[in-house]
Amino acid sequence: MTVSGKFTASRTANDLPVPLAPVVQDDRALAFGVSIALPFLNANQGARAEAAIAIRQAQMRREFVELAVRAEVTRAFRRSEATRAALAIFERGVIDRSTDNIRVIRASYELGEFRITDLINEQRRLLDSQREYAEVLVERYQTLADLQAAIGTTIGAQP
């Protein structure tokens, strides 16, 4: 509802060629008004447009979250596979070969073929390999935990 008011004042003079003096007229007007808007043709178009925009924003947020989740799951799966492959290399090749090298160098040292420093160096390499294996094993379990968090379920904890 809108209430309005208006006051106007005007003065007009008649300059007609008459022998009498010009006629001056003072007009004053006071007007009041009330208007009420009736939404016959509106049909709530503003609210409809706002709802359509809100729906589109919600769809875009959902699509963004879906893409983010897919990327996170993919990244976690790839890291998990990489650590699984690294563990397989350590288990099948590195640790066993280092252990065999120690056994051969120790036997050769006892026969006088190698110095003690050669045996100590090989033992150090075995310890380094075992430390790296432990680090990869920790990384493997961490990637499995990340993958479980990304997919939201528990998977078998096989290294």
Averaged pLDDT, 141-149: 88
Is residue 118 in some structural domain? no
pLDDT at 157: 53
Which structural domain, as residue segments, surrounds residue 14? 2-35
pLDDT band at 48 (very low <50, low <70, confident <90, very high): confident
Is residue 20 in some structural domain? yes
- Per DSSP, the three-state class of 22 is coil
**Per-residue pLDDT tens for 55-64?**
999 999 999 9
Is residue 11 in some structural domain? yes
Is residue 102 in some structural domain? no
The number of folded domains in the chain is 1
DSSP type of residue 27: E
Paired tokens of 137: 């094993």
Euclidean distance between CA atoms 24 and 18, whole angstroms:
14
Euclidean distance between CA atoms 10 and 14, whole angstroms:
13
Is residue 9 in some structural domain? yes
Averaged pLDDT, 112-141: 89
pLDDT at 13: 65
Higher pLDDT, 155 or 145: 145
Q: How many residues are given for the chain?
A: 159
DSSP type of residue 21: P
